[in-house]
Every structure is written in structure tokens, then in C-alpha cells.
Amino acid sequence: MPRLVSTLDQRAFGGLELDVDRVRAALAATGHVYLRRVPDGFDHVAQLTRLGPAVPQFDGVVVRDVRPDPAVDNSVYLPSNTRELRAHTEWFEFPGPPPRYQALWCVTQAEGPGGETTLADSYDFVAGLPPEQLARLRARSYTWTPTAALARSGVSYRCRHPLVEDRHGALVVRFPCDDRCRDYDALMAGYLAAGRRYFAEHRLAVRIEESGVLVWDNWRMMHARNAFTDRRRHLRRLLMADRR
Ligand SMILES: [Fe+2]
């Protein structure tokens, strides 16, 4: 059975105003919503931050451009080239709670195959884990430090957090895209392997159009990207904190 993307027609529901109640209802039901037919003049930052305050990057940037960097070839694993990205949740390795919501919209759509954003429900994934494994994941905290690139730019931290935790009555699932955790162990290896299998089986794919905005609950959804070839592909990203 094809997996259906939860969509809202922005022209029909809100126009230049985000229908926050309707968007929240969609996010609560499926963990994501794709706004289609978003009119010209829609103020992405002003409207989307009605879901929660913007979370700036370490360099203070609020809206991040996601597009291939001419200086970055595909020999490295980075968002700034055209390779497939592995399933992950955003900011799994940073101090504090991860951003609650993530939004992507499109400046220039890629032509040709690939470039879809893919999503799968990590709440459903962890609910299917053996109870003993889930209990160990809740009890175990892992240590994270900045990547070498971030450290070179002056960012310094050391944080510890579990991969699955309850926060103000909501479940927070962190899903790393690599094994750079300081305490990487067999428990995490098993979790990543099972999560990647789940993602491959259950992901849905969204090709974000130039009039579209994809929003998801980053505490609940893993996301990734299919490889693409058109280097003009240009998206913009905004992260929003939980309101509580
Ligand atoms: Fe990401």
C-alpha cells in the first residue's frame, strides 16, 4: 500500500497566514505535514515560528540554505553535496533538547531523479523494540562533543543525553546518523541498525516543490535525503523550539 503524505492546501487553509491549529493537528496525527500551494508573499519565518521560537545555528543564522557547495565533492558525507543522507533526527548531538519542529521549503527544485526528503515515524519504531532494549536505551546516557569542523570554528561543549527520553510528557527520540558518539557501544549499534532497517521499510518520500513547505516534529520523525544530480537544488531550513 502506498504511504500517504499528510498534506494541507495553504491557499484553501490560511493563504498568507498559517492555520496553526490545523497544522498542529496534522503534526499530532502523523508527525509531519506538507503545505502545498503556498502563495507568493508567505513569510516563512514569521508564520512558522508561530509553532515555536526559532532555534538559531551556532553561527547565529536562523534560516539555513541547503544547497550543494561547489567546493564540496561527493567523497565526503555532508549535506552540502548531492549524496544520499542517512536517517537521523536533527541536533541529536547538541546540548539541550533538540528543536521540536523542522521546516524545509524550496527555492529551486532539482530536475531529474532524486532529491526527495524522506521521513519515518520513530515513535512507531521504538514502540516495536523489545521492552528490555527500550528500558536500557532510556537509562543509558551518551556523551557528545562537537565535530572537528565545529571545534575549529570555536564551538565547545560536552553534553550527555539518552537516545530515548520523556520530556514534559512528550517522547524525545534522538537518532544519530553516524557513530561519532564518545560512548558508542553495542546498545547504540543495535539501535542504529534496527532504526535504519525500520526507516528503509517505512519511509515516505516528499519532493518539495517551489510552492511547498514540509514541516515535521523532530522529536518524533527521522528524516533523510535521497541522492540527486541537479546541483541547482536549493532548499531553506528553519528549526523551531518546543513551546513548553
Ligand atoms: Fe537533517
Closest CA to 218 of 102, 118, 64, 93: 102
Q: Is the pLDDT of residue 34 over 90?
A: yes
**Is 2 within the bounds of a domain?**
no
* CA dist., res. 136 & res. 51, Å (int): 32
Location of C-alpha cell 531550513: 237
Q: Characterise 214 by phi-psi region: left (phi > 0), alpha (psi -120 to 50), beta (else).
A: beta
From the CA of 113, how far away is ligand 1's center (Å)?
Answer: 20
From the CA of 15, how far away is ligand 1's center (Å)?
Answer: 28
Are 223 and 88 in contact by the 8 Å Cβ rule? The answer is yes
**Is 149 within the bounds of a domain?**
yes
**Is 185 within the bounds of a domain?**
yes
Domain tally, the chain: 1
Give the model's pLDDT for residue 2: 53
**Is 50 within the bounds of a domain?**
yes
Half-sphere exposure of 233 (CA within 13 A, CB side): 27
Q: In this structure, what are the phi and psi dihedrals at residue 192, rounded to the nearest 5 degrees?
A: -65, -40
Give the model's pLDDT for residue 142: 97
Location of C-alpha cell 575549529: 152
**Is 1 within the bounds of a domain?**
no
Q: Determine how many CB atoms are found less than 10 A away from the CB of residue 204.
A: 19
From the CA of 240, how far away is ligand 1's center (Å)?
Answer: 13
The length of the chain is 244
From the CA of 220, how far away is ligand 1's center (Å)?
Answer: 13
Cα angle 128-225-73, degrees, rounded to a multiple of 5: 135
**Is 228 within the bounds of a domain?**
yes
* CA dist., res. 16 & res. 1, Å (int): 34
**Is 48 within the bounds of a domain?**
yes
Minimum mean pLDDT among 24-33, 58-67, 127-136, 146-155: which range? Answer: 146-155
Joined together, the cell numbers standing for residue 219 give 522529536
From the CA of 177, how far away is ligand 1's center (Å)?
Answer: 9
Closest CA to 5 of 209, 183, 196, 233: 209
**Is 144 within the bounds of a domain?**
yes
From the CA of 88, how far away is ligand 1's center (Å)?
Answer: 6
Q: Is the pLDDT of residue 1 over 70?
A: no
Give the model's pLDDT for residue 51: 98
CATH number (domain holding residue 91): 3.60.130.10
For ion ligand 1, residues whose CB falls within 5 Å:
90
Q: What is the mean pLDDT of the chain?
A: 94
Q: What would the pLDDT profile of 116-148 be if each residue is shown by its tens digit?
A: 999 999 999 999 999 999 999 999 999 999 988
244 against 4, higher pLDDT = 4
2 against 65, higher pLDDT = 65
**Full domain range(s) for residue 82:** 7-240
Alpha-carbon dihedral angle through residues 228, 149, 224, 12, given to the nearest 10 degrees: -90
